[in-house]
Amino acid sequence: MLAYEPSPAKMTELFQSGQAVVAIWGSGRAKALADTGFPAEFVYPKEGGVVLGIAACPVAGSKNDKEAQAFVQFLVTPEAQVVLAKGAGAGPVNMNVKLSPEEQKGVPYGDQVKQLTTIDWDVVNPAREEWNKRWTREIER
């Protein structure tokens, strides 16, 4: 193991310099690297991947609440969801989105979504600090 690197920019650098050849990384990160022309590909583990959520939240009480709500509604339209899938590797949340086989590569879509694992943050969050300490003590040393 060469590195436990939390910085996406540093991981990209490790790939491009040949110091890294495989990593646990999100589909969006792998797509961003591949979109530069670098030969990268996202592959799901046979056990399935982990859901990484993307959220849009209007600010409560904003004077622009109507516009913010309209923007959030726009983000879930099929047209916007296709752009987010193609541009950022984000899996569509709108069930009416159709992606071509090429557009589906590395994107959580269709049957692949059924294999995703959702993290139970009510279990993780109370133990997170201790788990991070254990990780550092046992793995990252």
Token pair 């436990």 in the structure block, residue: 4
Q: pLDDT tens digits, residue range 43-82?
A: 888 888 888 888 999 999 999 999 999 999 999 999 999 9
Tell me the domain boundaries of the chain: 8-140
> What is the average per-residue pLDDT within 79-107?
92
Concatenating the DSSP letter of every residue in 63-127 gives TTHHHHHHHHHHHTSHHHHHHHHHHH-PPP-STT----HHHHTTS--THHHHT-B---HHHHHHH
Distance CA 73, CA 107 (A): 22
Residue with more model confidence, 43 or 125? 125
In the numeric block, which tokens belong to residue 27? 């589909």
What is the pLDDT at residue 113?
87
> What pLDDT does 1 receive?
62
Q: How far apart are CA 63 and CA 69, in angstroms?
A: 12
In this predicted structure, the answer to whether residue 28 has a pLDDT above a threshold of 90 is: no
Structure tokens at 79: 């047209």
